[in-house]
Every structure is written in structure tokens, then in C-alpha cells.
Structure 1
């Protein structure tokens, strides 16, 4: 998958750089310390989230095999932990994103399980709600 993916780099300062154009519909990004790879539908979802627009009616898949540095489970735009935003640092995980994932979301907890070791819904109640699935 990675051998023909588009590779993007987000430097600490400056504009995003395309390191390589791919041809398989996957994009791998290196934004700081949270590298991830996403299929084309998930890239559309992430683009809508960044622009604060409604996400497309598609089902997408993202993987973050190195985990992340942390994010709010309740506020898609929080940049730091607060007393009430359920900040979570997730280990390696995959995400199922997009409004088409809604039927799955109803079956999982809306809060982070202890240790973030079981699947849960991140950003519940927002258009950007998605399923987080920890992996080892």
C-alpha cells in the first residue's frame, strides 16, 4: 500500500509539501509526530473537518500505526487538554470515518474506555464522529 501512496509532509513551519505523487488512492501524511495514512474517502473527510465543512457521504479508513500525541474526544478543534474535553492519547489505531459509518457508531461507547484499549466513538454528536479501533 505504501509503495504507491501519495506522500505528504507538514513541516513545523511553512506549507505542506508533496514528497511523492502516488497512484493507489492512499495518502500518507507526516504532520509532526502523528503520521497517518488514509484512503481517498477518508482524505475527503479530513479535508472537510479541516475546513469545518460537512463531511462527504462516504465511508473512509485511516490508520495511525504509531498512535498519536493526543486529542480531545469531544471537541474536534481542541488543541490542548482541558478539564472537560476527555483528552486521550491513543496508541496504534485505525479509524472508520464518514457519515456512512453511523450504523457502526451506535454500537460503541461514546466515551474513551479506560486505557483506550477498546473501540469507541471519537467526537460523538458532531458531523466528524468516527470509530476508533485500537490495535496492537
Structure 2
């Protein structure tokens, strides 16, 4: 999600009700999973100890997010997915707050947050936080394999040494959405 992936992203991170991510009902991906199917997918997104004790959210029949597992570790896991693919992810409390700010087009939160997307993502613009529906010749589309993300404005000083190119190399750490309020560090893990 990077759309957060994040982005994180990244994502239907909105715990306020809808699966709306940046795409509308069903996250525009059309993926509907049973709770059991979602749990199996999420086990690929983050270490088992995270998923096992996380709050897990799934889309209900009405398209609204519902809690299917109450967590005890401060993490939230879901699959906002786009492009017909899944994007399972788990985010800590600070990353969820950052994602909610991003989705709400509000100033990003300061606290450093962490997200797992160990199953990778299906691609997003690397330069525009809100251009994530499809690749175009001008939107610097990037698809990152398995990765983790560090978000929050308190993390900005540590990002100074990382590449900030619009056409980033998704095989090495880079700053996604550079020079926007929502820039964050992408760290591939393969």
C-alpha cells in the first residue's frame, strides 16, 4: 500500500465502515472472500504471530468492513486489493492512523508506523497517492513484490538516504510518493 500499497497502504484501512479504499464498493477489485479464505490469504501477508493476534477485517455482504477477529496485539489485517488481485496486509496502530489520514486526504500522522505486505501488491503510481486504478504512460506505475513499509512524518529523516526517483527500482528500498505529504519507505524483503 504502498497504497498503501498502502498502501498500505495501504487501504481500506478505514475502520469507519466501508471497504471503499480509493476504488468504491468492494475496493474495485471485486474480490469477496469468506472469512476462512481471508484468514488463509492473510497468513501470507505477515508473520503468523502478527496475524494470529491481530484484529482482522473483512467486507460483509453490504460492502462494509466488519471485524471477524478481535485482536490483542495492536495490529489490523485485511485485504483491500485492487486490479483483480489481492493485497493482503497487516498494519500497526500508527500505520492504520497514517492510512486513514491518507485516505481522508488529511495531514499525515507523525508517529512511525509499520506495515507488512509480504504477498506483494498489484501496483500503484509511485508519484501520486491517489492515482492507483491502472497503469498509464505518465503515472510512474510500480509493482513491488513482498515488502514492508515505514510510514509517518517522524520517519522522514531516516528516508533522506533512500532513492526518491519517480521510476523507482522495486527490488531495492525506495521512497514511495516522494515529495508528497504521504511519502513513505518501501523495503522489499526478497
Aligned Cα RMSD in Å?
1.6
Task: Write the distance in 1 (CA, Å) between the matches of 2:182 and 2:60.
Answer: 25
Gapped regions of structure 2 (runs ≥ 5)? 1-49
Aligned with residue 42 of structure 1, among 95, 103, 107: 95
Matched position secondary structure for 1:18: strand
Q: Report what 1:15 is aligned to.
A: 64
**Pairwise mapping of residues 104-123 of structure 1 onto structure 2 (< 5 A)?**
104-111=158-165, 112-114=167-169, 116-123=170-177
Higher mean C-alpha deviation, range 81-90 or range 33-42: 81-90
Q: Deviations over 1:80-117 (max 9, x none)?
A: 21212110111000000010111122111112444x11
Q: Report what 1:91 is aligned to.
A: 145
Q: Report what 2:184 is aligned to.
A: 130
Structure number having the greater strand percentage: 1
TM-score (norm 2): 0.67
Question: 8 Å contact 1:11–1:31 — kept in the other structure?
Answer: no
Using the TM superposition, give the Cα deviation of residue 2 of structure 1 relative to its aligned residue in structure 2, in angstroms: 1.6
Using the TM superposition, give the Cα deviation of residue 56 of structure 1 relative to its aligned residue in structure 2, in angstroms: 1.3
Question: 8 Å contact 1:39–1:61 — kept in the other structure?
Answer: yes
Using the TM superposition, give the Cα deviation of residue 4 of structure 1 relative to its aligned residue in structure 2, in angstroms: 1.1
Task: Write the distance in 2 (CA, Å) between the matches of 1:62 and 1:11.
Answer: 24
Aligned with residue 55 of structure 1, among 84, 96, 108: 108
Question: 8 Å contact 1:34–1:66 — kept in the other structure?
Answer: yes
Q: Deviations over 1:58-87 (max 9, x none)?
A: 100001000001000000011221212110
Using the TM superposition, give the Cα deviation of residue 11 of structure 1 relative to its aligned residue in structure 2, in angstroms: 6.3
Aligned with residue 82 of structure 1, among 130, 133, 136: 136
Q: Report what 1:24 is aligned to.
A: 73
Matched position secondary structure for 1:100: helix
Gapped regions of structure 1 (runs ≥ 5)? none
Matched position secondary structure for 2:79: strand
Aligned length: 135
